[in-house]
């Protein structure tokens, strides 16, 4: 690994302010982009593999291969949103700087995911329950995401309207990421379910979120409940 690449990776994790300043000033964009892309691919691949290891080696491989795609597809949609939003908020910047900022923020998230991966792997081995694995994986991802948000906030600068712009861009990014991840599920596979690369299309993430809310309130989708009951019986599970 070259000294320049190593320095940029270290700065991404330890000195987000310097990375944000370089992007704002249009300096070292190629170097930042290369280091960010490497960090993004390695961090998401390793973290995805750890999440999938809860079910076994095949799901570990599937999750490791899919999580980098989630990040890259999300970036492909989020970068134009950031660039357009800056123009709408009367704070236009060159497209290259918007792309570098979004990529660097995602890379910092991936580096924190990489740092959290060993602890998550140990926790998943100790706490074998499916729901515990879901909660731990989601918390780890959310914690890493906060690191990326910090870099993105710095990169948007101190001008008036920064928080509104940040909120808009984050909302678009989170919704896009959630929908892409939903389309490429499963990540954590229930003990009763088969391990597959991708499940058939089944609504959207927003619909699933609404369904989960209704279920929490005691209002259930009877058709879906019957289908899951039939699946559990097929696998010999108790009701």
Question: Where do the structural domains in the chain lie, given as residue ranges?
Answer: 3-193, 203-239
Assess contact for 8 and 103: CB atoms under 8 A.
Answer: no
| Percent of residues, the chain, with pLDDT higher than 90 | 59
Structure tokens, 230: 């039939």
pLDDT at 30: 93
Rounded distance between C-alpha atoms, residue 127 and residue 135, angstroms? 11
Q: In the predicted model, what is the mean pLDDT of residues 219-225?
A: 56
Specify the residue for token string 């948007």. Answer: 156
Rounded distance between C-alpha atoms, residue 19 and residue 89, angstroms? 23
Mean pLDDT of all residues belonging to the chain = 85
Bond from prior residue into 186 cis (ω within 30 degrees of 0): yes
Which pTM was predicted?
0.83
């Amino acid at each position: 690994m070259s000294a320049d690449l190593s320095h940029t990776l270290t700065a991404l994790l330890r000195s987000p302010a310097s990375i944000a300043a370089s992007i704002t000033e249009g300096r070292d964009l190629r170097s930042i982009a290369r280091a960010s892309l490497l960090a993004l691919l390695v961090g998401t691949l390793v973290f995805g593999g750890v999440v999938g290891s809860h079910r076994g080696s095949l799901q570990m491989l599937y999750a490791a291969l899919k999580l980098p795609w989630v990040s890259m597809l999300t970036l492909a949609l989020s970068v134009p949103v950031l660039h357009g939003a800056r123009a709408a908020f009367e704070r236009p910047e060159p497209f290259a700087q918007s792309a570098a900022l979004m990529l660097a923020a995602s890379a910092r998230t991936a580096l924190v995911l990489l740092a959290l991966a060993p602890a998550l792997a140990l926790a998943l081995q100790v706490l074998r329950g499916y729901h515990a694995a879901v909660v731990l994986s989601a918390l780890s991802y959310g914690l890493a995401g906060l690191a990326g948000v910090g870099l993105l906030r710095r990169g948007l600068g101190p001008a008036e309207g920064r928080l509104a712009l940040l909120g808009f861009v984050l909302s678009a990014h989170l919704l896009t990421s959630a929908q892409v991840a939903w389309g490429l599920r499963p990540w954590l596979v229930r003990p009763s379910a088969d391990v597959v690369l991708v499940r058939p299309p089944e609504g959207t993430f927003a619909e699933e979120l609404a369904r989960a809310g209704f279920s929490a309130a005691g209002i259930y989708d009877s058709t879906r409940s019957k289908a899951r009951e039939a699946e559990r019986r097929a696998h010999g599970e108790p009701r």
